[in-house]
Amino acid sequence: AFLTCPDIRCGATFTTEPQYHSHMVESEVHGGQPPQFSHFHMMLRHQRGQDLLRSYLTRLHGITGPVAYLDAWFAIQEWKKLATTHETFESKAMNIIELYCTPDSARHLDMTFPGAERITTIHQAVKHREHKGLYRKTRATAGIIRNLIGIQGKDYFEFTTEGVLPPDVFHQLEWHCFMKVFTALESDVRFKRSNEYGTYAQLHVVDKAHRQEELVKDYERYRLMLIQQWTRGFCAEEKAMLDKANEIVDIYMKREIDLIYRTIEKQTVRERVREIRHAEQEKHEGTKLLTEDVVFWTEDSLLDEMYEHYTTALINKMLDMPELRKGLMQYSGHIKAQSRHMHVEIQPPSGKNKQEEWFTELMDNARKSEKGALPVNAQESVIIIQRRMRGVLGRKIGRKKFMTRYVKLFDSYSNCAYYQNNLTGESSWERPRMTKHLYHKSNW
Tens digits of residue pLDDT in 321-376: 777 777 767 666 655 544 444 443 434 444 445 555 666 676 677 666 655 655 55
What does the pLDDT read at residue 386? 60
Neighbours of 392 (CB within 10 A): 12
Distance CA 274, CA 268 (A): 10
Q: How many residues does the chain have?
A: 444
265-269 mean pLDDT: 92
Q: What is the sign of the dihedral through the CA atoms of 353, 355, 361 and 367?
A: negative
Domains of the chain as residue ranges with CATH: 3-131+167-225 (1.10.167.10)
pLDDT band at 140, cuts 50/70/90? confident
Long-range CB contacts (within 8 A, 24+) of 14-19: 17/42
Model confidence pLDDT, tens digit, residues 38-84:
677 777 777 777 777 777 777 777 777 788 888 888 888 888 888 87
Distance CA 167, CA 114 (A): 17
State the amino acid at position 78 in one-letter form: E
The answer to whether 177 and 71 have CB atoms below 8 angstroms apart is: no
The answer to whether 44 and 73 have CB atoms below 8 angstroms apart is: yes
Which range has the worst mean pLDDT, 107-121, 162-176, 247-261, 368-382?
A: 368-382
What does the pLDDT read at residue 184? 78
Query: What pTM, to 2 d.p., does this model score?
Result: 0.40
The answer to whether 176 and 113 have CB atoms below 8 angstroms apart is: yes
Distance CA 382, CA 438 (A): 9
Model confidence pLDDT, tens digit, residues 180-237:
888 877 777 677 667 776 776 666 667 777 778 888 888 898 899 988 888 887 888 8
Residues 6 or more apart whose CB falls under 8 angstroms from that of 312 comprise none
Residue 221: which H helix or E strand, with range? helix 195-320
Distance CA 412, CA 443 (A): 18
Distance CA 72, CA 173 (A): 9
Distance CA 119, CA 115 (A): 7
SS3 content of the chain, % helix, strand, coil (to 5): 65, 5, 30
pLDDT band at 258, cuts 50/70/90? very high
The answer to whether 14 and 20 have CB atoms below 8 angstroms apart is: yes
Distance CA 324, CA 357 (A): 12
Neighbours of 73 (CB within 10 A): 22
State the amino acid at position 380 in one-letter form: E
Distance CA 42, CA 17 (A): 8
